[in-house]
């Protein structure tokens, strides 16, 4: 057994997908909301028997390697390496070696890891940094868990250390750890006299840093610049530490700062992440949707924090996430934990209230609601949030609530809401976005593929293949011949036995998953009737395609003056016409 097959044998597809999605049993298979597109119903089908997971709506998926590549955004060599590590398989050295030169991104990651170790070491020799963390009530255990460090107050100590460690000037620059204004300028450290927070990707690799100054006159926080590894629109501080807790609870708590995440961890709240140097983005929300169904907004309580929460709501509900909010009596989670850790823990366990309900409560308490102008402004703003809700049921519920709170008729509110919806401030009607019920023209498969799929699914109907024109594609012609001469073998046996490329076998496995899911409940009578109709429409498609191809070749032969070739093509065309009559 080679390494690929051994990994497959140790890591069932449902186990891997279950680490990213919430699976629901459906007969022999599982289904879940697809993580690869803005799914509105469980569209990802997971088959333990076939070892594949596939979404027919966005046509993404495959075996454990295909799924992992798609969801983690890695290539096949990285996928097989990661999954081998997961199941404890040591890959052959030749597979792990990528040649004499290491990948550029890998070198940058190693540079960042070396910097993180350097900063962690320097923290222990900085009394000022340790005193600051003590003042922030950050215990040593949490500092070590998150690898908090200290960037020395030096012009180029970090840069010089990394050079001595074997990293090039270019690698250090690309890692965002040094700055050079121009070619004549000396290299100097980007982070100086700062408490350092390594930023990890969701797999636990260092991709950047955030640094908090210990000098009053400097910018309070400096983050790594955009680079080959660090993209602030996709990075979430604390995710690698939190993802298992998030997945277990299906719930994520969103905070604003590094210290907020650490404060939560200090009192045992693990399912917490913070945005890194930017507002929440659609990429962040898509990443979080892999692990959670509910987001709890626990942002700073100032005006900027409230604005950030409102922006986050629109983004999160677009991804189909239930969005709740928590009000704090302190300015941020870190301050609240210091003052009342027990109460904060209880608030997080309660999970907050729906964000829309909190907005509604704020509306009730707004004194400007008593004036016509104030009423108009408040309801207009509130309706933009209603418009972002993903179902008509939710929108109707909150229109009713506004009507009662603001003493405005439901009819008037519905009219204003429709105006907002028509201007594109809300999602389209979900029914329009959903794939229609199975229609052969809308499947990812050709008619010929569906014919072969039905013949594998219903062995008793294989005699109907006599009605079908032989496929032109070599691999399908081989399968066609096997099916005509084998009335008993299952689809799995046929796909295993046939001598065709592995990629085609994988596609046929996906085809069978589709056919079983959508046509598997047919009676033999229905299967025979539908198979007969499909053979006829497939033959017609084949003949028309042949006719088009011959006509194009005829035109070219005529223009080029190739008389003999033109005569042969005319004969072929006449044969195609006869075939067309037979097919009809």
Q: Which residues, in sequence order, are bridge partners of residue 223?
A: 210
Q: Residue 439 has what pLDDT?
A: 58
CATH number of 3-96: 3.90.580.10
What backbone torsions phi and psi does residue 443 show, to the nearest 5 degrees? -80, 165
Give the tens place of pLDDT for each residue, 56-84: 888 899 999 999 998 888 888 888 988 99
Tokens of 299: 């942002």
Burial grade of 566 (CB within 10 A; 0-12, 13-18, 19 or more): middle
Q: How far is CA 325 from CA 270, 274, 313, 332, 394, in A?
A: 18, 15, 9, 13, 17
| Edge-to-edge strand list for the sheet holding 194-200 | 149-151, 194-200, 206-213, 221-223
Ramachandran category for residue 62: left, alpha or beta (phi over 0 → left; psi -120 to 50 → alpha) = left
Q: How far is CA 537 from CA 169, 440, 581, in A?
A: 64, 11, 13
**Contact partners, residue 81, CB within 8 Å, separation at least 6:** 91, 96
Q: Residue 441 has what pLDDT?
A: 60
Q: Which residues of the chain have pLDDT under 70?
A: 1, 93-102, 182-185, 277, 423-442, 576, 578-584
DSSP 126: -
* 3-state SS, residue 440: helix
Q: SS in 3 state form for 327-378? A: CCCCCCHHHHHHHCHHHHHHHHHHCCEEHHHHHHHHHHHCHHHHCHHHHHHH
For 519-528, the CB contacts below 8 A with 24+ separation are 519/453, 519/454, 519/457, 520/457, 522/458, 524/458, 524/460, 524/461, 527/454, 527/457, 527/458, 527/461, 528/458, 528/461, 528/464
d(CA 508, CA 454): 12
Tokens of 52: 């594949």
Give the CATH number of domain 236-351; options: 3.30.465.10, 3.30.1330.10, 3.40.1360.10, 3.40.50.300: 3.40.1360.10
Give the tens place of pLDDT for each residue, 467-510: 898 898 999 999 999 999 888 888 888 888 899 998 898 899 99
Q: What per-residue string of b and e applies to 118-128 under the rule 16 or more CB within 10 Å gives b?
A: bbbebbeebee
CA 321-229-97 angle, to 5 degrees, is 115
Pick from 301, 280, 197: nearest CA to 241 = 197
Q: Residue 93 has what pLDDT?
A: 63
DSSP H or E stretch at residue 194:
strand 194-200
Torsion of CA 548, 552, 553, 557, to 10 degrees: 150
User: Is residue 440 a contact partner of residue 451, using CB atoms and an 8 Å limit?
Assistant: no
Q: Residue 27 has what pLDDT?
A: 81
- HSE-up of 410 (CA within 13 Å, CB side)? 8
Question: How many beta carbons lie within 10 A of that of residue 515, not counting itself?
Answer: 23
- HSE-up of 272 (CA within 13 Å, CB side)? 25
Residues for the chain: how many in total?
A: 584
d(CA 529, CA 531): 6
Tokens of 398: 């909150």
- The gap from C-alpha 93 to its chain's centroid, in whole angstroms, comes to 31
Q: Residue 185 has what pLDDT?
A: 67
Helical ranges in 191-299 per DSSP H: 239-249, 258-266, 282-289
Pick from 308, 322, 406, 407: nearest CA to 356 = 322
Pick from 112, 135, 279: nearest CA to 197 = 112
* 3-state SS, residue 298: coil
The architecture in CATH of the region 104-223 reads Alpha-Beta Complex (3.90)
Helical ranges in 136-281 per DSSP H: 140-145, 157-164, 169-174, 239-249, 258-266
Domain ranges of the chain: 3-96, 104-223, 236-351, 359-433, 440-583
Q: Residue 97 has what pLDDT?
A: 42
- HSE-up of 229 (CA within 13 Å, CB side)? 31
């Amino acid at each position: 057994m080679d390494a690929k097959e051994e990994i497959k044998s140790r890591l069932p597809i449902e186990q891997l997908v279950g680490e990213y999605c919430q699976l629901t049993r459906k007969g022999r298979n599982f289904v879940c909301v697809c993580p690869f597109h803005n799914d509105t119903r469980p569209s990802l089908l997971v088959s333990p028997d076939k070892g594949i997971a596939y979404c027919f709506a966005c046509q993404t998926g495959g075996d454990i390697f295909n799924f992992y590549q798609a969801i983690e955004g890695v290539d096949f060599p990285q996928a097989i390496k990661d999954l081998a590590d997961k199941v404890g398989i040591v890959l052959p050295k030749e597979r792990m070696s990528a040649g004499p030169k290491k990948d550029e991104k890998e070198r940058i990651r190693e540079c960042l890891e070396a910097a993180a170790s350097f900063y962690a070491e320097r923290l222990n020799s900085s009394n000022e940094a340790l005193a600051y963390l003590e003042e922030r009530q950050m215990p040593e255990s949490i500092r070590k868990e998150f690898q908090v460090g200290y960037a020395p107050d030096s012009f180029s100590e970090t840069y010089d250390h990394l050079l001595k460690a074997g990293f090039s000037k270019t690698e250090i620059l690309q890692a965002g750890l040094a700055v050079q204004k121009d070619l004549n300028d000396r290299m100097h450290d980007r982070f100086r006299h700062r408490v350092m927070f390594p930023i990890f990707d969701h797999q636990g690799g260092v991709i950047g840093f955030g640094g908090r100054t210990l000098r009053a006159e400097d910018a309070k926080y400096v983050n790594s610049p955009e680079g080959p590894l660090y993209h602030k629109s996709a990075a979430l501080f604390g995710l690698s530490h939190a993802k298992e807790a998030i997945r277990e609870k299906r719930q994520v708590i969103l905070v604003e700062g590094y210290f907020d995440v650490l404060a939560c961890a200090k009192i045992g709240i693990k399912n917490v992440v913070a945005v890194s140097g930017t507002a929440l983005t659609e990429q962040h929300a898509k990443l979080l949707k892999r692990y959670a169904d509910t987001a709890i907004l626990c942002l700073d309580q100032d005006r900027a924090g409230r604005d950030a929460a409102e922006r986050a709501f629109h983004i999160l509900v677009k991804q189909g996430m239930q969005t709740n909010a928590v009000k704090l009596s302190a300015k941020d989670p870190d301050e609240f934990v210091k003052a009342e850790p027990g109460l904060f823990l209880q608030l997080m366990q309660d999970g907050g209230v729906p964000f829309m309900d909190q907005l509604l409560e704020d509306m009730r308490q707004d004194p400007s609601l008593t004036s016509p102008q104030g009423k108009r402004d408040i309801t207009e703003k509130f309706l933009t949030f209603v418009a972002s809700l993903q179902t008509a049921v939710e929108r109707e519920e909150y229109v009713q609530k506004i009507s009662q709170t603001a003493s405005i008729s439901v009819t008037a509110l519905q009219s204003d809401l429709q105006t907002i919806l028509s201007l594109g401030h809300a999602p389209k009607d979900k029914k329009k976005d959903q794939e229609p019920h199975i229609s052969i023209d809308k499947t990812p498969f050709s008619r010929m593929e569906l014919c072969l799929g039905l013949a594998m699914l219903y062995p008793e109907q294989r005699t109907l293949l006599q009605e079908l024109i032989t496929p032109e594609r070599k691999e399908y012609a081989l399968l066609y011949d096997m099916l005509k001469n084998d009335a008993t073998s299952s689809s799995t046996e046929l796909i295993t036995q046939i001598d065709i490329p592995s990629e085609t076998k994988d596609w046929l496995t996906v085809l069978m998953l589709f056919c079983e899911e959508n046509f598997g409940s047919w009676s033999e009578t229905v299967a025979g009737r539908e198979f007969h109709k499909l053979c006829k429409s497939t033959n017609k498609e084949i003949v028309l395609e042949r006719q088009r191809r011959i006509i194009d070749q005829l035109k070219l032969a005529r223009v080029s003056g190739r008389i003999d070739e033109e005569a042969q093509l005319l004969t072929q065309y006449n044969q195609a016409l006869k075939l067309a009559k037979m097919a009809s």
